[in-house]
Amino acid sequence: MTTPLALPGLAGKVVVVTGAARGQGLAEALVLLASGATVIATDIAPDAPADLASSADLPGLAHYRQLDVTDEAGWTELASWLGSEFGRVDGLVNNAGIPFRGRIGEIARDDWDRVFAINVTGAMLGIQALSPLMNAGASIVNIGSSAALNAHHTVAYTSSKWALRGLTHVTATEFGARGIRTNIVHPGYIETEMMAAAPAIMTDAQLALTPLERTGQPEEVAAVVAFLLSDASAYVNGAEIPVDGGFTSSAGVKYMSDIIKNSQKTT
């Protein structure tokens, strides 16, 4: 395991990360541990991932808890344990999520409901359960998607991430007076196990539309998440931050611009 990036302003904070067994969630947990935070890494898997289990040399403290984010009783149990163990929660990263590539004409109701249960309801239940343990200075970070900023064909996934934007802004408004901040990060095409099954043509199209002309790494998302949890972002609330190499900023214009530029070279 390579040494994760360490950020200031996180030492001693108690942070819960969902979906932390792999990919972005694991990267977020490791960056927080490298920064000296106490991390409660949760996932549906019964056992902690090997990288988390071998993180004892990092300055933070890791705890692994099995959690199904759609299970309200599971959140209640976690909140009770956190209250007795630490007396507070300083950060919550609602990272757990699933993709589903069905289009509007083919999506089944059960698949739609499952995607929303994990991607939206799971985050809402986490906020409900853990916010009573939060004090001024605490931070909630929801993990959205570039699909929440434009119209991807994946109807259930895209719609769920748009809904998560709404949850983010409601929570930022509701909890602001308590000094609790809520923000959302929108990863673009990040190289994780979730994206490994994507067809090659999808990767090629993504690169053609992304100004940085490369895919992203989980650690690059994790660094932004850690910043939003840290004291360095103390006046950032209700923000939406894309981590996508400029994909949503360009909105397809890069592709058109490259075609025009290349055509001019040949004339």
Whether residue 3 lies inside any domain: the answer is no
Whether residue 5 lies inside any domain: the answer is no
Provide the domain limits for residue 234. 14-265
In the prediction, which pLDDT does 232 show? 96
Whether residue 9 lies inside any domain: the answer is no
Q: Give CA–CA dist 132/30, Å, rounded.
A: 26
224 with 166: CB under 8 angstroms? Answer: no
In the chain, the number of structural domains is 1
In the prediction, which pLDDT does 267 show? 59
Q: Which helix (H) or strand (E) holds 186?
A: strand 181-187
In the prediction, which pLDDT does 28 show? 98
Q: Pairing state of beta strands 38-43 and 61-66?
A: parallel
Whether residue 245 lies inside any domain: the answer is yes
In the prediction, which pLDDT does 167 show? 98
In the prediction, which pLDDT does 96 show? 97
- Catalytic site residue 157? yes
Q: Give CA–CA dist 100/95, Å, rounded.
A: 16
In the prediction, which pLDDT does 117 show? 98
In the prediction, which pLDDT does 125 show? 98
In the prediction, which pLDDT does 204 show? 86
Whether residue 1 lies inside any domain: the answer is no
Whether residue 8 lies inside any domain: the answer is no
Catalytic residue among 157, 189, 235, 255: 157
Q: What are phi and psi of 255, to 5 degrees?
A: -60, -45
Q: Give CA–CA dist 266/20, Å, rounded.
A: 50
| Helix, strand or coil, per DSSP, at residue 140 | strand
CATH number for 108: 3.40.50.720
Whether residue 72 lies inside any domain: the answer is yes
* Residue ranges in the chain whose pLDDT is less than 50: none
Q: Give CA–CA dist 138/133, Å, rounded.
A: 9
pLDDT tens for 163-194 read 999 999 999 999 999 999 999 999 999 998 76
